[in-house]
A and B are shown apart, each in its own frame.
Chain A
Amino acid sequence: MADEKKKDVVIKVRGLVNGFGGRIIHDHIDLDVYRGEVLGVVGGSGAGKSVLLRSIIGLIHPLEGTVEVFGQQTGEVEGAGMQRLEMRWGVLFQEGALFSSQTVAENIQVPLREYTSMGQELMDEIAAMKLGLVGLPPDTGAKYPSELSGGMKKRSGLARALALDPELLFLDEPTAGLDPISANQFDELIKQLQKILGLTVFLVTHDIDTLRAVTDRIAVLVNKKLVIGTMDELRKNKDPWIQDYFSGVRGRAALASEEAH
């Protein structure tokens, strides 16, 4: 990974400033995400992890700075251009954000119906295939989101995010609220899918196990700035919050399990 070939930059953030009601959350941050990598974003509660994600996918307009995805500035492109951009990424929201009045299969078919001219039969097959891809049994397709457990909701949300075979995947705390076993399985799933489908993944998380298991690089949000590096590099960082995060009890446990492997 370390070789400095000319890497293809998928997400390019420059001088981003975000804030609400006079309080600055991001103070001129820069970030590059390269094609095919998994970038983890961590930070304390309220540090603005989700805000960063939302400003990259264009749900929040930053106060200052630019965000480019696939070479296009998300704040500038409008209408059809933005839609074309949105077809190339998939987003998994924290609670899955499945449409509650539709079955899981219909949820997955929403982008297919909107953006392709597939027949119903093929859409049914694709929905079933995506469910298989995220490791859900076939009968999940006919269920409503209210009938699913938290882990199944997230997997279904992931299947919907993958519906259009995106190149770029945004995950907002994919393992939050899952038991450790399901969380591990979810980590495995992300890793596998990333490899099979060649995805670039932007991953917001709290979970240090997830970071260890799936990310190539980690971006830490501290003091309104981003500190970026691999896990080993960050462990040597002197910042007290980063020290606490990676060397606290949970951090050490995660690393110990790594060494035991």
Chain B
Amino acid sequence: MTSIESASAAEPEAWFKLDREGRKLAVGGAWTIAESARLDRELSGLELGGPGAGGANQITGDIAIDGSKISRLDSAGAWLLLRTRRALEAAGAKVSSFNLPELYEPLLKSLDQERKAEPIRSRIPPGFRGRLFRIGRAVIHAYGQSISMLGYLGRVTVETGEAIAKPKHKFRIAAMFHQVEETGINALPIVGLLAFLIGVVLAYQGADQLKRFGAEIFTINLLGVGVLREIGGLITAIIVAGRSGSAFTAQIGTMRVNEEIDAMQTMGLNTVDTLVLPRIIGLVIALPLLTFYSDIMGLLGGAMMCYFQLGITIPAFLRQLNEAITVNTLLVGLIKAPVFAFVISLVGCYEGFQVERNAASVGMLTTRSVVEGIFLVIVLDAAFSIMFSVLGI
């Protein structure tokens, strides 16, 4: 890596010298930014201690700074000179004279007029207090966010109600079906492939274990119940959270960065109607359909594995499947899908509206929307499991 320090070797080196009695500080050479890191280190070696420091470089009383030998001075160098003078004065010395080549007087003057440069401090205190500060800030942030998300849920609910009551004004059918296509139809290949593979894996592992008891045929029960009740819906929701939840956040977030959201509001367009509802309703329609498709693909993968691994033919597979599951099994899995869809799209849109006008924000909130979406899907799935077991379904 190049550095400015190695780049400008042609110029005379900057130097400074304090005479024995500590009455005169002579400086010379090119006091530039290229030298300032070294000068900073060396100047701090000048012990400007007041009474009691007692070092070899102790300075009290009058001192003259002689800069007449300076060959070049830029603002970084000038700052170092000024700082040295201030440090001398703070240590109790009196700077009796301070001369510089005439050329550089205006520079020094303009810097000197500025107020004392306060070091720019980070807002976070260092050390243990800083860690506490961060934890506290995160808690406050999480609290504020849950409140605001709840408020958002309320707003969306109200607007949805209005949209259903007055569908002509509020319902954007075209936008909604566009979302169905985006989030549903375009997701078919990836969801199908993954569900198929999950079916294969499930059947393979199940057969391996159940073979020990001579109960290979129950692989199909495992497969049917597992895929239809849990895995099919869960895997689809997780894929969609990663695929569409992130897309929602990024789309709305980018619109925010470009001030498009502000423009819409000034035109009297309701952003919930135009942006949020089509996405939510679109996904609520698409996800159950996707889940059904993923169930079928999962069973297909399982059936194939059963055929090759256990030699169970397709008719035999179907017969056993018919024994193992009822329509309820399928419905229990499907009923969760609209809820997952609602949560994923709500979080996706909400986080999109939280985007601030800087480059890092869209990326950060997109990540957050995916993580929150998947987290909520799994939490809700657990809640459903408990509820169904209490209800005895």
Contact = CB atoms under 8 A, between A and B. Distances in A.
B39 to A, nearest CB: 9
Contact of B110 (A101, A116, A192): A192
Interface in B6-37: 7, 32-34, 36-37
Interface in A128-162: 128-130, 132-133, 138, 141-142, 144-146, 162
B358 A119 contact: no
Interface residues of B, number: 35
Interface in A172-189: none
- Looking at chain B's contact residues, the main secondary structure is helix
A165 B76 contact: yes
B74 interface: yes
Nearest to A118: B37
Contacts of A121: 119
A126 interface: yes
Interface in B30-76: 32-34, 36-37, 40-41, 74-76
Nearest to B356: A146
Contacts of A56: none
Contacts of A142: 120-123
Nearest to B83: A125
Interface string A36-80: 000000000000000000000000000000000000000000001
Interface in B318-366: 356-360
A197 B74 contact: yes
A122 B37 contact: yes
Contacts of A197: 74-75, 107
Contact of B37 (A87, A116, A124, A144): A116
Given A138-B117, A165-B75, A197-B74, A117 B107 contact: no
A206 B257 CA distance: 27
B287 to A, nearest CB: 34
B256 to A, nearest CB: 12
B146 interface: no
Contacts of A101: 358-360
A84 interface: yes
A129 B34 CA distance: 17
A2 interface: no
Nearest to A135: B114
B120 A124 contact: yes
A8 to B, nearest CB: 15
A132 B109 CA distance: 12
Nearest to B4: A115
Nearest to B103: A198
Contact of A87 (B7, B79, B118, B356): B7
Interface in A189-206: 192, 195-197
B37 A117 contact: yes
A257 interface: no
B258 to A, nearest CB: 14
Given A146-B356, A197-B75, A116 B33 contact: yes
Contacts of A115: 2-5
Nearest to B105: A196
B106 A116 contact: no
A141 B120 contact: yes
Contact of A83 (B2, B41, B79, B111): B2
Given A124-B119, A125-B117, A128-B119, A165 B111 contact: no
Nearest to B78: A129
A129 B114 contact: yes
B358 A144 contact: yes
A171 interface: no
A105 interface: yes
Contacts of B212: none
A195 B106 contact: yes
A146 B36 contact: no
A34 B316 CA distance: 90
B129 interface: no
B115 interface: yes
A161 to B, nearest CB: 12
Contacts of A100: 357-360
B79 A126 contact: yes
A162 B110 CA distance: 15
Nearest to A195: B106
A17 to B, nearest CB: 31
Nearest to A129: B79
A84 to B, nearest CB: 5
A84 B2 contact: yes
Contacts of A87: 2, 4, 7
A127 interface: yes
A126 B83 CA distance: 11
A164 interface: yes
A121 B37 CA distance: 11
Contacts of B34: 116
B111 A127 contact: no
Contacts of A103: 120
Contacts of A127: 120
Nearest to A98: B358
A118 B111 contact: no
Interface of B: 2-5, 7, 32-34, 36-37, 40-41, 74-76, 79, 83, 106-107, 110-111, 114-115, 117-123, 356-360
Given A100-B357, A101-B358, A128-B118, 4 more contacts: A87-B7, A105-B120, A124-B119, A127-B120
11 contacts: A87-B4, A101-B359, A117-B5, A129-B79, A129-B117, A133-B75, A142-B122, A146-B358, A164-B33, A165-B76, A192-B110
Give the 6 A-B residue pairs with the shortest CB-CB distance, closest first.
A100-B358, A132-B114, A128-B117, A165-B74, A141-B120, A101-B360
